Structure 1
């Protein structure tokens, strides 16, 4: 008998994760390994990929953890990996678009505060969008097309709670810094994450009749050793009163990538401790 728990089982399925060597990328991989999937970790750094594979090896045999260097912003790189998968007999049924450049707010590093909209450089705008948004488009175009031609699959776009509200720039403020030099969360982050939600909705209808579902997951802030003052400020904006632990999104990824969510399509699941409800 098919139970709800059985629907989470991804044994025999292959998932490709972009930006897989990063903090949340590894967690997404861990989530899918836990429920039986084979994972293809992709990122721009072979060294970082090898580290990620080593860390994940405690969860699954090494033959279920594949690494490939891939630059999501370059069509030739994405196509090359797709061709490798085909030549190896690997059929990607799950695509997790996770790759992004997450600009850290530090402040005080130069004559001008480059994070501010007034000073934000066009080359940084282009670079960050090419990875975080164009990369998701290219990977969806290549791997989603293959899914649609071969029985279906799942695309999961990793957005952010900042896809549904604006950054509260007060949490980044630095004491003793003039207003025109105060660091901020750059405009690119919000634009990219909101764009991923738009891409999700578009894709969810485009291949629905071919068995391809697309959803987005919008995590809130993850605790990763940030300073006490920042953590205090951000936690005060969250009804649960704290940031997320790094592994608290695993169950959502398992749900969204498996048949447990078989009737969920085109949605943005905001998982932020309730911050977006205030």
Structure 2
């Protein structure tokens, strides 16, 4: 039996992370690289991907990182990225579906009204669903399909605590906004996408169970990123641990879910929210 440390070792494996230039995307890349994986760092444009690689290299110069343009909403782009990697002799062993649009809740004119469900714009719905949910499906279809043919692979979908619970819209209320229909809210798309990713996880886990492909999800809670102090105070009152997550606190969980340390785990959603969803 391999020692616990060896089970986390990803040396010799290649991971691909979508939306890797964002706050958590870079953390996922760092976690996988730290465990020994070569990581394909993808963003919608090559310049963004290269910028993410450059920033990550500053902290870990020895990391084996590859910048690649990938538009997760376009099947042709997903296939082109897959073909480019194959042409370079690179096989993707781990797929992390992280790409998403996380609309920030603000009271800016025009933003607060359109976030309300009654006025939510259909084009915005379609765009956000395309990135966060359809993109995960297309990437799983391409890279997961190749894993299934080889008989081995791991897919990790990045969901959210709001894929388990509904948003508490009281968190976003602004005292200076007098009209209820203008109070900002967390948009419907975020919840639908994150719930959908958990559903996709369960579907693919059973679909490819006999092809050696494990599929799991992780549902992080809110990460502290210098948000408005009033918002942070309201949110932390809902969290038993009394604080938001630090930006690097999900790294070990990503390593666990993407490595042989979780070899008998599939179709599951690992909730890491400081206890918020159980209170």
**TM-score > 0.5 by shorter chain:** yes
Residues 40-72 of structure 1: per-residue CA shift (max 9 Å, x gap): 01111333222211121132536x100111110
Alignment of 1:210-225 (within 5 A): 210-225=211-226
Tell me the TM-score normalised to structure 1 length. 0.97
Contact 2:14/2:38 (CA < 8 Å) preserved in 1? yes
Give 4+ residue runs of structure 1 displaced > 6 Å after superposition: none
- Over 3 Å counting, the alpha-carbon distance change for 1:12 and 1:30 in structure 2 is same
Work out whether 1:115 is the aligned partner of 2:115: yes
Residue of structure 2 equivalent to 1:266: 267
CA RMSD of aligned residues (A): 1.1
Residue of structure 2 equivalent to 1:183: 184
Alignment of 1:74-85 (within 5 A): 74-85=74-85
Contact 1:42/1:49 (CA < 8 Å) preserved in 2? yes
Alignment of 1:16-165 (within 5 A): 16-57=16-57, 58-61=59-62, 64-110=64-110, 113-165=113-165
* TM superposition shift of 1:276: 0.3
* TM superposition shift of 1:252: 0.2
Distance 1:162 1:274 in 2: 13
Give unpaired runs (5+ residues) of structure 1.
none
Contact 1:79/1:142 (CA < 8 Å) preserved in 2? yes
- Over 3 Å counting, the alpha-carbon distance change for 1:182 and 1:112 in structure 2 is closer
Give unpaired runs (5+ residues) of structure 2.
none
* TM superposition shift of 1:109: 1.4
Count of residues in Structure 1 that have an aligned counterpart in Structure 2: 277
Contact 1:112/1:119 (CA < 8 Å) preserved in 2? no
Residue of structure 1 equivalent to 2:207: 206
Residue of structure 1 equivalent to 2:251: 250
Tell me the TM-score normalised to structure 2 length. 0.97
Contact 1:33/1:60 (CA < 8 Å) preserved in 2? no
